[in-house]
Amino acid sequence: MVQSNQDSDISLLNINQGITCLASGVLNPQLGYDCLLVGTQTNLLAYDVYNNSDLFYREVSDGANAIVLGKLGDISSPLAIIGGNCALQGFDYEGNDLFWTVTGDNVRSLALCDFDGDGKTELLVGSEDFDIRVFKEDEILAEMSETETITALSPMYGSRFGYALANGTVGVYDKTARYWRIKSKNHAMSIHAFDLNSDGVCELITGWSNGKVDARSDRTGEVIFKDNFASSIAGVVEGDYRMDGSTQLICCSVDGEVRGYLPGGEELKGNLMDTSAEQDLIRELSQKKQNLLLELRNYEENAKAELNAQLKEADGQRGVIPANTQLQTALSVNLGSDSQSAHVELCISTTNDTIIRAVLIFAEGIFEGESHVVHPSLQNLSGCVRVPLTPPKDVPVDLHIKAFVGYRNSTQFHVFELTRQLPRFSMYALSSPDSATEPLSFVNCTTNERPQRIIMWLNQSFLLPEDAEFQSAPFQVCFTSLRNAGQLCIKIKPGGEISINTDDIDLAGDIIQSMASFLAIEDLQVEADFPAYFEELRKVLVKVDEHHAVNQRLTADMAEHSNLIRSVLVQAEDARLLGDMKHMKTRYIELYDLNRDLINQYKIRCNNHTELLNNLKAVNQAIQRAGRLRVGKPKTQVISACRDAIRSNNFNVLFRIMRVGTASS
């Protein structure tokens, strides 16, 4: 870009709205140079800075929280993909939306990455429901659950990508497997992939809220370079800023301090840390030595104890326990009492008279801070510890348990480590079938699977007191949710027809998805009806319409008011220049009143807008939920058909699509 004014290095652009996201890149291949994309709460502007002209200006009612520019899948032209409230939209350079789909919650971060290694890029979406979803165009390839809102995603190379969470976690995924992650008490403000040590592999550069910048190896997460700024980092980017042909890593702090880093030369051989790195290594090694010495001493003590086998009572103190001691864990559903709400109970017990001194459980997404320690007081020590669990979401969770086992007066304990998986639908208690309270809503589908396999899935995903057996064709099993006491019935009828009765559309979607992935079903069409939910949705749709109408009115009102204010202001100034103080005063009083009105109106408009946003989000979520009731092709069909129905404002068709999956009967 040619600078318009030689004196200043900065040219300012005026957008007139709060900017929520920014991107730049080649959007129009024929143009041959970059354009600037500016996302605001309501609009997306593609702007050609060089020519001071718009490529397009689009209204995006779902907002633009994140933006990424690039090619997606088989779509030939580059797209500007924006993530809003539950919606994803992709625009080409003419402003046509070539890509649209819905996702589970508000999108916070986007990235393009060749996830499945087919040479085409897939879209990674990080959202506020802690999920990273991978879209191959319209279709979801994978979903990874994290423990916090995903604030940043950055493709590294191949199928590898980095991520950052709102709680200060940074890590790297390769496909669906997590390579490493670290957690800090600071927040990661920006992450970027850059090959800082010239070893041909990108490192993950993280800018932290305390002003630290570090580069971590993509394989191990080991810090290979770090630097400190005086204030929080605002962003990390790369570019040939000095125009000397080499790309630099550029970090900028919120105070406006900008530092550029050139990749290290060949002679460094990837070793960027100076002498202090070697010292660190020595320190690390000596610590290892210390640990090993400690361990050795323990063994020696034990050996001594074995020699003096007759000193029985002292055994416990030294931490010797019977060799056949085992740690047993059991998961069960506890329906709760007056003092305690219903929960899943994890019971950890030993097989003999030893006691458990402490239990340390590590599990993602169940406890605040991911780990939980139970440390009974000395009086209450026993061989059995019960831990209540209430997983907030229906996801399978691995519980990593570490228990300290010994005797009451031991000073040293044995640590038992074991891993137990919490089934996906553990928060549902088996109940007796009761037709009176059976939910009206249902999902029906037909599969060719043997019922036995479905029962297998049932046993694996639910916490059943004893494994269910399949006897004859009409098979029924009922559950009560521990969260809200909602009913869930799963029936298997002869002919492979499965019906799931629940009022919770999310739960139904989860069950369908879980079952489909267990049974490896590729395409599944269902018939569904959720009368209560659909009625609510209908109300929301009506409200959206009303809000749109009101919004138009309010916008016109605002414009009218601001025009008035302008003319009054000019008149007041006019009076001032003429020295007509009396008139000037009246004008300014008028102006004051008008201004107050305007502010009031603005508040109304803001409220209206937030409500509209919430309602639109609800609509997008409804489409997403309707999609989740299906698998494979029917799913994408439902989502796109729903969108068409909403575009043409045809509510009846929308509900029909949600029920049967297609617009035509």
Partner 1 sequence: TALTLLIFYFFILIQAAWSLKTRALTEMVYVDEIDMDEEGIAEMVLDENAIAQVARPGTSLKLPGTSQGGGPSPAVRPVTQSGRPITGFVRPSTQSGRPSTMEQAIKTPRTALTARPITSASGRYVRLGTASMLTNPDGPFINLSRLNLAKYAQKPKLAKALFEYIFHHENDVKNVSNSCVPFSVFVKYHSALDLAALATEHAQFKDWWWKVQIGKCYYRLGLYREAEKQFKSALKQQDMVDTILYLAKVYLRLDQPVTALNVFKQGLDRFPGEVTLICGIARIYEEMNNISSAAEYYKEVLKQDNTHVEAIACIGSNHFYSDQPEIALRFYRRLLQMGVYNCQLFNNLGLCCFYAQQYDMTLSSFERALFLAENQEETADVWYNLGHVAVGIGDLNLAYQCFRLTLVNNNDYAEAYNNLAVLEMRKGHVEQARALLQTASSLAPHMYEPHFNFAILSEKVGDLQRSYTAAQKSEEAFPGHVDTQQLIKQLKQHFAML
For residues 217-246, which are near partner 1 according to CB under 8 A?
Answer: none
Q: Confirm or reject binding of residue 51 to partner 1 (CB under 8 A).
A: yes
SS3 of residue 84 by DSSP: coil
Tell me whether residue 27 or residue 236 sits nearer to partner 1 (CB atom). 27
Q: Confirm or reject binding of residue 596 to partner 1 (CB under 8 A).
A: no
Tell me whether residue 476 or residue 586 sits nearer to partner 1 (CB atom). 586
User: CB 129 → partner 1: shortest distance, Å?
Assistant: 32
Q: Confirm or reject binding of residue 570 to partner 1 (CB under 8 A).
A: yes
Tell me whether residue 51 or residue 287 sits nearer to partner 1 (CB atom). 51
Q: Confirm or reject binding of residue 30 to partner 1 (CB under 8 A).
A: no
What is the rounded CA–CA span in Å between residue 571 and residue 601? Answer: 23
Q: Confirm or reject binding of residue 569 to partner 1 (CB under 8 A).
A: yes
User: CB 56 → partner 1: shortest distance, Å?
Assistant: 9
What is the rounded CA–CA span in Å between residue 447 and residue 470? Answer: 16
Q: Confirm or reject binding of residue 94 to partner 1 (CB under 8 A).
A: no
List the 177-183 sheet strands across, edge first.
150-157, 160-165, 169-174, 177-183
The 8-class DSSP code of residue 469 comes to: -
SS3 of residue 339 by DSSP: coil
Q: Confirm or reject binding of residue 1 to partner 1 (CB under 8 A).
A: yes
Q: Confirm or reject binding of residue 436 to partner 1 (CB under 8 A).
A: no
Cα 214 to Cα 160, 202, 206, 229, 392: the distances in Å are 19, 13, 5, 11, 34
Q: Work out the number of other CB atoms within 10 angstroms of the CB of residue 207.
A: 27
Interior/surface letters 376-403, b for 16+ CB within 10 angstroms, e for the rest: eeeeeeebebebebebeebbebebebbb
User: CB 70 → partner 1: shortest distance, Å?
Assistant: 24
Q: Confirm or reject binding of residue 472 to partner 1 (CB under 8 A).
A: no
Segment lying near partner 1 (by CB under 8 A), choices 41-49, 106-114, 279-287, 416-424: 41-49
Segment lying near partner 1 (by CB under 8 A), choices 8-16, 243-251, 295-303, 507-515: 8-16
Q: Confirm or reject binding of residue 14 to partner 1 (CB under 8 A).
A: yes
Hey, what are 418's tokens? 């074991």
Q: Confirm or reject binding of residue 664 to partner 1 (CB under 8 A).
A: no
Cα 346 to Cα 96, 291, 386, 389, 462: the distances in Å are 54, 33, 6, 7, 14
Tell me whether residue 47 or residue 407 sits nearer to partner 1 (CB atom). 47
Q: What would the DSSP string read from start to end of 482-516?
A: TTT--EEEEEEETTTEEEEEES-HHHHHHHHHHHH
Query: Applying CB under 8 A, which of residues 353, 560, 593, 644 lies at the interface with partner 1?
Result: 560
For residues 260-319, which are near partner 1 according to CB under 8 A?
Answer: none
Query: Applying CB under 8 A, which of residues 286, 328, 340, 555 lies at the interface with partner 1?
Result: 555
Q: Work out the number of other CB atoms within 10 angstroms of the CB of residue 56.
A: 18
CA 379 from centroid of its chain's CA atoms: 43
The torsion region of residue 269 among left (phi > 0), alpha (psi -120 to 50) and beta comes to: left
Q: Confirm or reject binding of residue 5 to partner 1 (CB under 8 A).
A: yes
**CA-based radius of gyration for the chain:** 31
User: CB 126 → partner 1: shortest distance, Å?
Assistant: 30
User: CB 17 → partner 1: shortest distance, Å?
Assistant: 10
Query: Applying CB under 8 A, which of residues 57, 304, 308, 600 lies at the interface with partner 1?
Result: 57
Q: How many residues bind partner 1 (CB under 8 A)?
A: 41
The residue count of the chain comes to 665
Q: Confirm or reject binding of residue 485 to partner 1 (CB under 8 A).
A: no
Residues that bind partner 1 in the complex, under the rule CB under 8 A: 1-2, 4-5, 8, 11-16, 43, 45, 47-54, 57, 59, 552-553, 555-557, 559-560, 562-564, 566-567, 569-571, 573-574, 577
